[in-house]
Each structure stands twice: as C-alpha cells, then as structure tokens.
Structure 1
Amino acid sequence: MKKVYKLSIIAVLIVSLFSFYSLETKTVSVFSNKQNTNKYKWNLSDIYSSNSDWERDYKILENNIPKIKAYKGKLSRGSRYLYEALNTTDNMSRMLEKLYSYAYMSKDTDTSNNKYLTMCDNISYLSVKLSSSVSFIEPEILNTPKETIDKFVKNNTKLKPYKFYLNNLYKSKEHMLSDKEERILSLSKGVASTPENVYTSFKDIDRKTNFTPGEYSSLLQDDNRETRKSAFVQEFESYKKNINVLASALSGQVKRDIFYSKARNYKTSLEASLDKDNIDVSLYNNLIIEVNNKLDVFHKYVALRKKILKLDEIHYYDMYNPLKENNKKIEYEEAKKIVSKALSPLGKQYVEDLNFGIDNRWVDVYSSENKRGGAYSWGSYDTHPYVLLNYNNTLSGVSTFAHEMGHAMNNYYSSKNQEYVNYNYPIFTAEVASITNEALLFEHLIKNSKTKDEKMYYIQGYIDLIRGSIYTQAMYAEFEKIIHDRAEKGEALTSNNLNKLWGSLMKKYYGKDFKMDDICSIWWSRIPHFYSNFYVYKYATGCCAAISLSQDILSGKNDKYLDFLAAGGSDYPIDILKKAGVDMNDTKCINDALKKFESLVNELEKLAG
C-alpha cells in the first residue's frame, strides 16, 4: 500500500503488510503426507533465528519509540534534522515490518499456538504506539515552506530518496491536519477497526459450517450438482442467520470511511481512497461503465455454461464447476516446472530468481494441522519474500502458485532496487504483477494442450480468471460505490436495502439465463474486501493491465517488465504502468481485456460445437 501519509502509515501498516493476503481461499485444506518435510516449509529463521531474538528487537523498538520526540519542533531548522527524523522513523518502521511478519507468519503456520497469538497482539499494540509518536512529523513538515524543504533536498544527498515522498506530501497538504488532530486520528485507528473485527470474528470463529473455506471452494467445483447446491445453501445460510449483524458491521465500516474522508476535507470517501495513489475518480467510474457496456459477453458465457452443462436452469452453484472434467493431478514438483516454463517469456533472470526462491524455502506449500487456509505473499524490506500456499495438486493450485509468486517477485525486485522509503508498492500495481503470471500460465497451457477437452478446460480457467478479476470485481466496485454514495446522503444501510441492491446488480451482471436464488442477495455479506475501502476495483484494473502486458511480452514488444517490478513505490502507480507500456487512464486497456474475454468465450463456443 503506497505511503502517501508516510509517517502516519505506521497506523495502516497492518493493511500494507496484509496487502497480499488472498482473502478468498482458492485451495483445498487437505493435509498432505509431505507436510512434515522441511523443504516444503518456510524457513522463518531467515527473519529471526528464535523467538528470543524477536523479543529482543521488540524491546529495542519499544524503547526507541519515545526518542522520535527529540525532533519535534526542529524539522524546519536544517536538513540534518529532517533527514534524521525521517531516517529514524524508517528504521523503526523496518523493524516493525520484521516483527510483524515473523509474528503473523509464525501464527499462520500454527494458529493454535498462544505464544504467537500474544506476539501478534503485542506488535499490533506497538504499531499504534509508534503511529501516535510520529504523528507530529508530517504536519510539521507541511508548516515549513516547500521552498525550504526543496532546498534541504537539493543540498543534502541523504534526502534525495525522499524527494518523491516529500513532493507527494505537499500535494496532499490540503488534506493534512494539525499535529494535535493527526494524533487524534492516529489514536482513533484502534476503535475504527471495530467493524472489520466484528466481521472477522464472525466469519472465522462464530460462523459454523461442515467444511473449511477451501473445502467449500472444492465442493462448488464438484461434478454432482446436488453436492454443489447443498454446499452453496449451507454456506450462504451461515451468513443469512446473522445478516442484520453483518449489515450493521458493513454500515459501520462505510461510516468509518466517510468520517476519515470528511476529517481530511475530501468531497467523497471514494475520492479520499483514490487520492492515496493519485488516481482520478474517472478511472473508477470508467471501469464500471466499460464493463457494463460489455455485459452481453458475460451473459453469453452464462448461457454457454448452461448449454454445455445441459441444464434447464443455471444457478450460482453452477458457475464454478469445470465444463470438461480433468482429473489429472498436478504434483507440486510438476507445478514448479509448469510455472517456470510458462514464465520463461519474462526472461532468464526472472526464472532463475524465481527458482532460487522456490528452492530456498520461500514457500510453505502444503496444508497441515492448524495452518491458516488460503494463500498470500508477504515479507519485509530486510528479508526475502514468503509465500503461503495450501497446495492441492489441481489447476487452481497451480494458478494460485503462479499468482502468489508474482507478488513475491515484485517484492523481491522492489526491495532489491529501491530505498526503503520507495520500496512499498501499492496494491494497484501489485495485482498487475500477480495476474500477469496467471495470464502467461494459461496462455502456455492452452497453447500446449493435447486434446480438445484439455484445451476447453484451460480456456475455461482463463475465462474464469478474467470473469473473477474483472466482471465480479467490477460488480463489487459498483456495489461499494453505491452504498457509500447512499450513506453520504444520509440513507440507512439496512440488510433489506443491501440485499435489494445486490440482487439488482446480480440480475444485471448475470443476465436473463441466470436463475437467481433469493439467498444470493446476501452475497455481499461474504466479501471481506469491503472492509478495505475501495480495494476491489484494483483487481479489475490489475487484470486489465496484466492482460495487456502479457500479450506484449508474448509478442516480444515489451522489454520493460522487470523495470516495472523494480520500480516499487518510487512513483505514482499510473505513471509506473505508463513507463511499462500501459496507460490506465485510456479505456483502451479495459476494452482490450474485455475483448480477450470475448475471444476466449467464442473459442470455447466453437470447441463445444
């Protein structure tokens, strides 16, 4: 997540550190007989060799936090004070990242371990304390004439890496508050997380089903329709039973977003969210408009699924199972070879670095008892990246592997090439790096398929990647924009209102061939992304940019991709992508991705006969 308010970002560092968590589990949580093999497990000693070393750094950080106050009132006196304050904060933030990643990744490999749970609670507390302590810095910088700061940067080479950050800070000056007000906002972060905490507690603890999230994903892909339907009903009913509580939680989250946007003098919460990445509201709106203009292609795919599956009606639970059965198991060692070959167009260096990471225990591969489900990529500036998988020998597992390694390589090249202040790249570009890998994977699989059924299977995989990343996320984004607009006008976000809105959007997006069950209207309550405001659209824009880049890479027209990965957060994401050959302010990029979707649907239709 981009450091727009760099020093107040300590308060949102949790969001940044979790920015690559895959919030929808893609893999099946089935324990592997290889789970005890160290080569398939993380080597967290690359971060800290022991818990006692972690505790040592925790105490060091805790003791150093008060020292930042020594710079209060001095930042305009000379470049030395400004540099020392920024550098001291960076060093503490770097240590916080290491502490956070070690604690949470340790917990994620053993969620029952109270020691790790306590470590996570402690480091969360420390992050709020650090955020509060440094909250004076940015207001004090902004109270200094920009000409003075520019002179400091010009005359002190140590400040050169901070040039983009400082320019960006002054750009946001009208939204920065006084020292006292910034401290109040920092202190409010803990209370403001209550809606998300309520949702997470319900989803992970209180909600009861007969399957894990990964198992639910697998059941939706089962060939037996009654199995799919039963899983769907049980899953959605588990949310429906508490729909009013969940509506209150989401309403609280929206009110939180509105509060912070008004506190910082933005017109809307959407504008406040997008301004962090210097993105115009028109890009968000254009995405929704362009996707809406191509809903007929999505409707065609829904109808095609109905035809191929020979169904009288197509329901939600008929949208995920394979159109052509492919029971081939892809062992992890084979998956490594497939991904490596598929990503070879990115160049020899990329593949060598990718394989080095895989072979040196950057990846925790298999499900095990008390291990967190799903998949993500994480890490810190001072360590290599890590990837969590729950690999299950399926095409979905291979796709997830490629996706998360895309994040990991982005992290690796960014930290290798950027100073700390500029390494932490935003989600807007992060999703490009991961989905480009998936696009290249499917292009490779389709090209090398040996039978018609195999080709149909891979084409469907590519279609579902685009469907899930563009059409579904655009629907989410449209819903999110509408509920914020309504709340800003003073309208109540009740469960009935949310259900009606969601139902109308589903009917619009899925078309006349789709049979919408009444319970589908509560789908919104299952989406954790809504607790990270205006986050979901980045999956859609990321997929559009990724498809554009992957096509250029395959045709040999793009030799700047590794520069893109290495750019980190050294510039605004729109400008970083433009240097890589993609103009996200031009709707051509969106339309080209939708055309790719259309061509895949047409090819699938021809193969189906």
Structure 2
Amino acid sequence: MPDNQILQERKEMDARYQWDLTPMYQDDAAWEAELATLDDQVNAMTAFAGTLKDAVSIGAYLDAATELGRKLSNLYCYASLRRSEDTRAEDGQSMYARVTAKYVQALTAMAFAEPEILSLPEETLKAVVQDEQLADHKFTMENLLRQKPHTLTASEEKILATFGEALGAPAEIADNLQDADMVFDAVQDGDGKTVEVTGSNYITLQMSTDRTLRKHSFESYYKGYRQHINTFASSYAGAVKGATAEATVRHYDSSRAMSMAGENIPVEVYDNLIDTVRKHMPAMYRYVALRKKILGVDELHYYDVYAPLVGDINVRYTYEQAQQMVLDAVAPLGQDYTDLVRKAFAERWIDVYPNKGKSGGAYSSGTYDSNPYILTNFTGTLDSVSTIAHEMGHSMHTWHSNHHQPAQYAEYTLFVAEVASTVNENLLIEQLLQKENRPQMRLYLLNQYLENFKGTVYRQTMFAEFEREAHAMAERGEALNPASLNALYKKLVEDYFGPELVMDEEVQYEWARIPHFYRPFYVYKYATGYSTAVALSEAILREGEPAVKRYKEFLSMGGSAYPLDELRHAGVDLATPAPIDAALQKFERILDDAEATLAKL
C-alpha cells in the first residue's frame, strides 16, 4: 500500500488480507450466544465461597476458575479483535464494552477466593501446597502464597474488583481520542502534493526521504496532540493515581514495586537497565552525529530521526515477498517452526493492511483455544516486514505455550513477552545482512538494525524512566499536569539523544501518544526483552541446534515458572546488568560497521 494512498473502508478491501475469525466464533451471533451463557457460570463460582478449606475444595475451585477464564478470554479476545477492525463501528464497541463489564463482574464474583485461601493457618497452607491432589496447580499456589502480605480481605478485594472498569477508563479515553476522534491536517510534500496524515501512516511519513513531508507531517501530527494535551494529561494522571492508590492499599512501597511483584522481578532489574543504558549514552550520541552527517543537514531535527540513512533507496516489498522473507529468516529455528509460520500465513491469522478506523500499530492476540491472531498496518517498507516477523514471534511463543502447557500455565508473563518477537526481528536483519555486500544496501540494512536498538533499547528505557519519575511525582504529591509532564519528557529526550538533536517545540508532547503508559511499568520489558533476544539470536546463529533446543524449550514454558528462571533456562541472566551491557556492545559493533560501510560509498 503506497504511503499516500487514501485509506479505504474495510468492506471495500480484499478479504484475503483480513484475518479469519471464524475458527474462534462462526459469527457475531455465535459470540452473543456464548456471552448469554456466561452469567450462570460466573454465578456458580460464588458457591465456592466459604468452602475453600483443603486441597480438594481449592483444587475444584481452581479447575472451575480455569474453565471460566478460558471462556472469558475467548469472548474478550474476539470482541477486542472485532473492535480493532474499525474503532468507529458501534457493533465492535458494544461487544467490547459488554464483555469488559462481564470480565469485571467475574473478577468481582471471584474476589473472595484468594483472601479466603490465604486466611488459612500457615501450616494448613503449606500442607495444601504440597498435597498431590493440587499437583496441577502447585506453582499457582506457591505464587499465591508469595503474595500473601499484599492480599486484602475478601470484602476489600471485592471492593477493589468493582473499580476495575472505572480504573480502566483513562486508557479507554486516550485510546478512543487517538484512534476514533483525532483527525490530523493534510499536508503538502516537497512537490506540493497533498498527503493525508493518520495515526497509521505517521511513522511511515517520518521515514520518507522527503524532508518537507517529514517536517509538515511532524507539525501536523503534534498539533493534534497539543490541541488535546489537557485531556491526555488528565487521563494519564488518572491512570497513575489509580495505580499509586492501589499500591498504597496493598502495602507496597510504590506502584512500580507492585507492578513488578506480580512477576517476581526485583526493582533492581529496572534500575540496572536505566543505569546501564545511561552508561552507554555516548554510543547513541555517536549514532545521532552519524545520522546528521549522512543526511547532510545543518541541524538535525526530531523529524529527521527516522529518515533513512541511504536516501535514494526506496525499497518496497509486497506482502507476498514479506512472507517469504520471514520464512527465510526463521529457517535456523527448524522445519517445524517454519511450517507453523507458513500455516499462519495460509490460514489467515493476519489482518494485513490499514483501513479507515482500524487500530493503529500492530499486535498479536489469541487465547488458549484460538489461533494467535496478528494485526498489522502493512505499508511495504522494511519496517513493515520486520513488524510481521516481530508479531509472528509473539504468535509462535503463544502457540508453543498453548500446545505444551495446561490452560492454567499457558499464558506467559509480560516480562518475557517481547523476547520471541525480537529474536525473529534479529534473525531477519542478520539474514539480510549476511547476503548483502553492496555498500548502499548494506548501510540501508544497518540503519534498520540501528533503529531497532534505538527504538527498543534506548527509547523504551527512556519511556521507562519517564514512568518511574511520573509515578514517583504522584507518590510525592506533585501535580501531573501538561507543564510537568511536558518538561519531564523534554528533559529525557535531551538526555538520551544529546546536543546534536534540535529540541523542536513539538517534542514535549510525544509522551501523550504512547499507549503503553496506561499499562504501568510495561515498557521497560521491551528493552530487557530486546537485550535477551540479542543474546539468544546470536547463540542460535553461532551454536545451532543446542541453542535452538534451549530456545524452543523456553517458548514452551508458558507461565509455568518465574520469568527470570525461564530466561536462565534459555541461557540469559537478567538479574545482572551483563545482558544489557552485551546488547549495547553489539549496538556499537553495528555502528562500527555502518561507519566502515559509509567510507566505501
């Protein structure tokens, strides 16, 4: 799809490039029929209240909760996928709103369980955890016992659960504002042609070789955010205050400690990441200077940071070419892996092209009982190809977990969620570099590799530091308003990208467009995940089968162990700064390659 093509309505587009959700539900009517059965199953869970005294009763409850969770997950996932197809459409919005309410209702109905179990005497609890009748749920029980100091009474947990939908409102407000309501001014490119600016094509426009187009689209895009910055600040402040209030109620030192405790990750891992990346700031400043030199500009502006370093190469790929590139890239992972990727393409697990109202960006989403579906907004760039490889990594992780773990342990934690996706991305770029010796094309590919590091390690760590400071401000009682949030973000951009980058006025508003800020303390996992993926992909290419075996075992572990332990099984220890250091040393080697390649032009 060309960058400047006017978006079409979804119904006008070729269905071959849209995901097929019928294996999940035949149609919306089938979804409605299953939704109608949910209340009885939720109500049945309340019958367990007051009975959770021993391994038998607790095991029966956990089995029933797992089955209800599967049904809720199917209903919620389908509604979410349908809403993503066109965020303006009332049917998808209605389905999503109703199942979200049901989800909260179910959580409220089951809020008694953990406090009731944890109210048992210590010796009884320890005996229950070791009882063979609970063998299928032993890790669940061990994890529950670990969180006992932060679990409230049954009535208190029920009250908190009833606020679930309200606490999710800030994210809903921001999402709807960005995806459904915000409209950006069309702009003129360097030839005077009118180009539409949307949330879906903004980054693609920023990667254009046309500097006039980059500048105008940058100004148009952030004009939209500036006009709504008070709403964004209010919605984000609401999300932060909700998180900090819950942390206080649950007796955590901070909202960050609460967010990380669920996966049993020490806060030192977060701080190690920021400290280690800050130690490697000179490498990023060097990259920014290289970018300025290659682009030949007197001043490097923020709308230059995505511009391709090799300006006269405008490589585009068809979706079919992208499929083959991904298959070639993952070949080192074995025939079984590539066959599964081929199946995903053939059976339409992917919603490929942008359309009017479609959610921006990309994601992978599925359930224990469904295919792991992928949403992309493919535009034919190398970045679009890389996105398909990335999301396919998520889907392959989901598939392996679902097929090797029982339902209660199939869902892997967010901490490891970005590992498989980035392994695929790295295998793609390494495979392309291996075959490419022409200086211009090689520099083009190295640019992509450097951008991956910039976007996933440096920028996500910058985002992580923004979150750490914003939540700390709220916990100190300081105001989270446009002025304070803008100032915090602008200072971080200055720190992370250095003196060569001009701080355009629009830069300070960028925080408002980052949706992951509404999932507190998630973004740092992109950086730790990328660093892990660097180690794993290099091991796969260097060692072959032994590393592939460890990697596939990791993919198959789901949520059956704590994430740091799963990564140690794969061969990476994030309890130390070493993987972050090693990843950024790799960044410096790629930068060396880029500078050497530039000398050959």
What TM-score do the two structures reach when normalised by structure 2?
Answer: 0.93
Aligned to 1:418: 405
Matched, 1:597 2:583: no
- 1:247 corresponds to which residue? 233
Aligned to 2:58: 82
Distance 1:129 1:470, change over 3 A: same
Checking the alignment, whether the CA contact within 8 Å between 1:27 and 1:392 is kept in structure 2 is: no
Alignment of 1:320-359 (within 5 A): 320-324=306-310, 325-359=312-346
Tell me which moved more, 111-120 or 287-296. Answer: 111-120
Residue in 2 that maps onto 1:487: 474
Q: CA deviation at 1:390?
A: 2.2
3-state SS of 1:540 partner? helix
Alignment pair present for 1:290 and 2:280 = no
Give the deviation of 1:214 after TM superposition. Answer: 2.1
1:335-378: per-residue Cα shift (whole Å, max 9, x none)?
11111111111122111111122212212223345443322111
RMSD: 2.0
2:93 counterpart letter in structure 1: L
Q: SS at the partner of 1:377?
A: strand
Name the counterpart of 1:63: 40
- Aligned partner of residue 512 in structure 1, secondary structure: coil
The offset of 1:602, in angstroms, is 1.3
Identical residues among aligned pairs (%) = 37
Q: Per-residue displacement from partner, 1:362-411 (whole Å, max 9, x unpaired)?
A: 12223345443322111110112111122222211110000000000000
Q: For residue 23 of structure 2, what is the aligned residue in structure 1? A: 46
CA distance in 2, matches of 1:70, 1:233: 58
Equivalents in 2 of 1:363, 1:194: separation in Å?
Answer: 29
2:379 pairs with 1:392: yes
Structure 1 segment 510-549 matched on structure 2, within 5 A:
510-549=497-536
Gaps of at least 5 residues in structure 1 are 1-25
293-302 or 551-560: bigger deviation:
551-560
1:22 aligned partner: none
Distance apart, 1:38 and its partner CA: 4.2
Quote the residue 2:348 is aligned against.
361
State whether structure 2 residue 80 is matched by structure 1 residue 127: no
Q: For 1:200, what is the secondary structure of its paired residue?
A: helix
1:52 to partner: Cα distance: 2.5
Alignment of 1:363-512 (within 5 A): 363-512=350-499
Once the two structures are superposed, residues 459-516 of structure 1 have per-residue CA deviations (whole angstroms, 9 ceiling, x without a partner) of: 1101101110000011111111112112211222222222222222111111121111
Distance 1:223 1:100 in 2: 41
Secondary structure of 1:222's counterpart equals coil
**Which amino acid counterpart does residue 437 of structure 1 have in structure 2?**
N
Q: Which amino acid aligns with 1:250?
A: Y
Determine helix, strand or coil for the equivalent of 1:555: helix
Deviation of residue 203 (structure 1)? 2.0
Secondary structure of the structure 1 residue equivalent to 2:418 = helix
The residue that corresponds to 1:16 in the other structure is: none
Shift of the 512–169 alpha-carbon distance from structure 1 to 2, 3 Å rule, reads same
Contact 2:130 2:138 in 1 (8 A): no
How do 1:565-584 residues align onto structure 2 when only pairs under 5 Å count? 565-584=555-574
Which deviates the most, 169-178 or 112-121? Answer: 112-121
User: What is the match of residue 209 of structure 2?
Assistant: 223
CA–CA distance in structure 1, aligned partners of residues 283 and 357 of structure 2? 42
Taking a change above 3 Å as real, the CA distance of residues 35 and 457 of structure 1, as seen in their structure-2 partners, is: farther
1:380 aligns to what SS in structure 2? coil
Aligned position for 1:207: 182
Q: d(CA) in 1 for partners of 2:591 and 2:502? A: 20
Displacement of 1:537 in angstroms is 0.4
Deviations 1:318-346 (A, max 9, x none): 00011113223211112111111111111
Paired residues in the alignment total 582
Structure-2 residue corresponding to 1:311: 297
Partner SS state of residue 353, structure 2: coil
Structure 2 unmatched runs, 5+? 186-196
Match 1:118 to one of 94, 97, 107:
94
Contact 2:86/2:358, CA 8 A, preserved across alignment:
yes
Matched, 1:554 2:541: yes
Q: 1:373 to 1:514 in 2, by over 3 A?
A: closer
Higher alpha-carbon deviation: 218-227 or 402-411: 218-227
Partner SS state of residue 500, structure 2: coil
**1:29/1:215 contact within 8 Å kept:** no
Amino acid at match of 1:319: V
User: How big is the shift at 1:37?
Assistant: 4.3
Segment of structure 1 superposing worse, 147-156 or 425-434: 147-156
Offset at residue 148 of structure 1 (A): 2.9
- Matched residue of 1:46: which SS? coil
Counterpart code for 2:46: K
Say whether the 8 Å CA contact 2:118–2:125 is kept in structure 1: no
Matched, 1:104 2:90: no
CA deviation vs aligned residue, 1:528-558 (integer Å, no higher than 9, x gap)? 2111111110110010000010111110151
The C-alpha deviation readout for 1:295-333, integer Å capped at 9, x for no partner, is 000000000000000010101000001111322321111
What is the rounded CA distance, in whole Å, between the counterparts of 1:371 and 1:233 in structure 2? 23
Tell me how far apart the structure 1 counterparts of residues 558 and 48 of structure 2 sit (CA, whole Å): 29
Q: In the alignment, which residue of structure 2 is the partner of 1:139?
A: 115
